[in-house]
Amino acid sequence: MSNIVENVPPHLQPAATAALAWINDQRGANYKLTGLVDPDLDWQPESGAATELGLVLCEDELCAREQVRIQAHGADYQVSLIDLEAPDIPPHLDPPEGVRAGWLNDQLSKHGFVVILFYRGFW
């Protein structure tokens, strides 16, 4: 089972923020980072080594998992997307718990009611 970290550790925050900005720029999106999947908690950016980050990204009602390779270059980061053939996205990543309540409250403020469909753990 995947290790999901909802609060990004401080030493990974700059790299995760750079990866988020890169994905938003590449896709013209406005994703928010809501967690990391299986992060290498021992990775130190200043080591010069690359690492992979599994990002849980949400924008409005859409949540996605993206896997990126990231490496520090001075004060900047080099980010590239890693294609996953069939990523295993655990149901609780769609969307994470903290996002669900905010999203549902936002939708209820816009509409008289909301219909939520559950299908095999996803919604």
Mean pLDDT across the chain: 81
Structure confidence at residue 26 (pLDDT): 93
Q: From CA 123, how far away is CA 121, in angstroms rounded? A: 7
For the question of whether the overall pTM of this predicted structure is more than 0.85, the answer is: no
Q: Is residue 93 part of a domain?
A: yes
End-to-end CA distance of the chain: 20
Structure confidence at residue 95 (pLDDT): 55
Q: Is residue 121 part of a domain?
A: no
Q: Is residue 118 part of a domain?
A: no
Q: Is residue 22 part of a domain?
A: yes
Q: Is residue 122 part of a domain?
A: no
Whether the pLDDT of residue 116 is over 50: the answer is yes
Q: From CA 84, how far away is CA 54, in angstroms rounded? A: 11
Number of domains within the chain: 1
Q: Residue 30: give the domain boundaries.
A: 4-110
Whether the pLDDT of residue 91 is over 70: the answer is no
Q: Is residue 27 part of a domain?
A: yes
If you search the block for the tokens 């999203």, which residue do you land on? 103
pLDDT in tens, 23-79: 999 999 999 998 898 888 889 888 889 999 999 888 877 788 889 999 988 889 999
Which residues make Cβ contacts (< 8 Å) with residue 91, sequence separation at least 6? 120, 121, 122
Structure confidence at residue 119 (pLDDT): 63
Structure confidence at residue 92 (pLDDT): 46
Q: Is residue 119 part of a domain?
A: no
